[in-house]
Structure 1
Amino acid sequence: MRVLVVSAPLIGHVLPLLPLAAALREAGHEVLVATAADGLRAARSGVAVRDVAPRLDFGRIARGIMLRHPLVARAELAGTAGTRGAGLLFGAVNDQLADGVVALAGQWRPDLVIHEPFAVAGAIAAATRGVPAVRQENALFDGAELARATLARLGPALRRHGLTDLPPPAAAIAVAPPSLRRQEGWPMRYAADAGGGELPDWLREPGERPRVLVSRSTITGPGGAGPMPAVVAVADRVDAEFVLVRPDARLARRRLPGNVRTVDWIPISRALPASAALVHHGGAGSALGALIAGVPQLATVGAGDRRHNAELVAARGAGIAARSRDITADTLTRLVTDTALRDAARQVSGEIAAMPGPTELVRRLESLR
């Protein structure tokens, strides 16, 4: 079976799709990933990747949307826009992806298309080929709602390919732990690719003090530095060791407190088991990574789905939701000492571990042919 996996042009969107892609390859199926721009970095993981929109500039599209829709942009930056901003942005992105994905499907002739909610171009390609499309969630939002918001902006792309609408997906794959939120579809244990880089030996074992990893978004833009500057500002008043993962150049050049270290790109999922907590920008991949490891997290409230993710985690009791500017020494001390946070994180970790893994879904996908 040939399986085409389609993602928005962002590495953070591609990585969660790769474990299922790997399971399909191990079962003997051919897998090709279709994406563009930043998403092409997935090739470093050894998967076959095709650029379906060589001239796509995600930043330019985002800036154009913000200029044309200032009120929506303001709400999006505050994390209160719902699906309005996402629909506008990823509708425009998918309009540029659609022709390339359809052309690739025509050439490669997949038997099945798997796409994430913000890559509806994959569903368009599946419809033109008359093959099943499967929506795979890669976040904590309602994927059906995100796909609908994106599709609502794709009338011209549909018409270019002789379509008036899209059929419902043949199946959906849900990755959210049940106690956080319900998603439609077959449950599957979230198992994002570990990412690039090497894990230093000293990060493989717990340190003398509680270790807190501090990460930032893989996307540049507003709030791109994430919570790192705020953590550095108060770190010397917290009995913990802080590890900044990929700090920006300005922060890396600063004189840091004695309990703050820096590392380049590392496979964070492999460092989390020996860590006491994770502080991050609120992205779904980071939130789920901490939950898988069963460690408390501080997720900052920010743009896009970051407020949504942070508030979901906090409502479950598995972490703290806070704006970067509100991070204090007391906040970080609570993060590493509050046993209720740790217990809730471990409970959710158990839920995730009980979900079927990617390998267990291969047979179900094969049945869709």
Structure 2
Amino acid sequence: MRVLLTSWSWPTHYNWLVPVAWAFRSAGHEVLVAVPPGGTHGVTRAGLPAVAVGADFDVDRVISKYYWSSPIAEISARGDDVDWDRMREEGQQPLAVYALLASIMQDGLVALTRGWRPDLMVFDGVNYAAPLAAAACGIPAVRQIWGVDFSSQLAPFADEALARHRAQLGLGEVDVLGTATLDPCPPSMQLVDGVRRLPTRYPSYNGPGKAPRWVLDRPRRPRVCVTWGTVSHLFNGRIFPLGGALDALADLDVEVVATVPKGGRKELGSVPANTRVVEDLPLHLFMASCDLVISQGGGGVTATAVEAGVPQLTVPRTSEQVLICRSLERTGAARMIALDDASTALLREEVVRLLGSAAHTAAARSLMREARAQRSLADTVDTLTALAGRA
């Protein structure tokens, strides 16, 4: 069976497809990964075949134009969930960014699908060119999400946002949620809706990398990971500063591991004596050795911490992150600070609370067991093979 996997060029989105691609390969299927040109290197670094479709684009400019000028950004900074029904009534279109990305990738993805003739497509949940291309070519499309199902909340906006795209392909209605959804989220965190989900354990993958020796040593003090993700530079200062988070931990008897993108160390300047700064180190290499993780609440870091059974403290910035962090907090495995409320003093207070809390640690371990009890990717591949009619 041939399987075409596709994402846009953000590594944090593409990384979710890597274990899926390898599960298909391990089962003897042929896979190909379609991404914009700038994303092909990340694909091949994971040992997978890549093909470029569409063109690269200025993500900074796009986000600045469509997200920061919307009321959604202000709502998220308060730590509030977005009322999507109200957004529709007010004429907001949260899919504008993704509709633009679909325009860039659509023609190339359709041409690739028609030429390579896959039996199944697996797509990142906000790569809307994928369900359009799959519908145009008559193959099933399976959506990969990255935790709590944010993209399902946006589905009611898709008909309007993608009207021109569908017209170009001669399509009527297209279900942007796909034929089924690969769902790595523990059920206790997930939304309750009518989406056809295939609950599947997430084998943490945050990119390729070498494990330094200290990762294998047992820490002598509580280890706290601080990470703002790989794309924090796109927020143009609209996040709680990483340096402020490190200052909050400076006088605590803890070992701090601060992760930054490649080249990001020099931007931090001086750091407290208890802090180790690492560049481009995948979280899954050392997360299990941590006692706490502090992050922006993105899908990758939160899922990796859940899989490792580590309590979390989050300071979310986007509506997607707020949704994830609120769901995490309800399980008892995490605490959330709204961006508008965040301060060095409050961050320190919450860290002390979490490190001394047996209840939060127990809740994190319980959530880990729930996540690990889900079906393996190998079993899910069998289901998807049958779905594609190739069992």
TM-score by length of 1: 0.91
Matched, 1:341 2:360: yes
The residue that corresponds to 1:63 in the other structure is 64
1:151 Cα deviation from its structure 2 partner: 4.9
Aligned to 1:238: 252
What does 1:1-369 correspond to in 2, within 5 Å? 1-36=1-36, 39-40=39-40, 41-66=42-67, 70-75=70-75, 80-81=81-82, 86-167=94-175, 169-182=178-191, 184=195, 185-219=197-231, 220-222=233-235, 223=237, 228-246=242-260, 248-254=264-270, 256-323=271-338, 325-326=342-343, 327-369=346-388
Instruction: Please say if residues 3 and 30 of structure 1, whose CA atoms lie closer than 8 Å, have aligned partners that are also in contact.
Output: yes
- From the superposition, tell whether residues 138 and 150 of structure 1 become closer, same or farther in structure 2 (CA, over 3 Å): farther
> Whole-Å Cα distance in 2 between the matches of residues 55 and 227 of structure 1?
28
CA distance in structure 1 between the partners assigned to 2:308 and 2:26 by the alignment? 25
Q: Which amino acid aligns with 2:380?
A: L
Structure 2 distance, partners of 1:82, 1:210, is: 39
- After superposition, the Cα gap between the structure-2 partners of 1:92 and 1:72, relative to the gap in structure 1 and judged at 3 Å, is farther
Q: For 2:167, what is the secondary structure of its paired residue?
A: helix
Unaligned runs of 5+ residues in structure 2 are 85-91
Conserved in 2, the CA contact under 8 Å of 1:216 and 1:280? yes
Q: Which amino acid aligns with 2:213?
A: D
Alpha-carbon distance, 1:206 to partner: 2.5
Cα distance change, pair 157–4 in 1 and its aligned pair in 2 (3 A) = same
Alpha-carbon offset, residue 78 of structure 1: 5.4
40-49 or 269-278, larger mean C-alpha shift: 40-49
SS of 1:346 mapped into structure 2: helix
Cα root mean square deviation, aligned = 2.3
Mapped to 1, the partners of 2:151 and 2:223 lie a distance apart of 34
CA gap of 1:149–1:10, structure 2 versus 1, over 3 A, is farther
Determine helix, strand or coil for the equivalent of 2:181: strand
Unmatched segments (≥5 aa) in structure 1: none
Mapped to 2, the partners of 1:12 and 1:95 lie a distance apart of 21
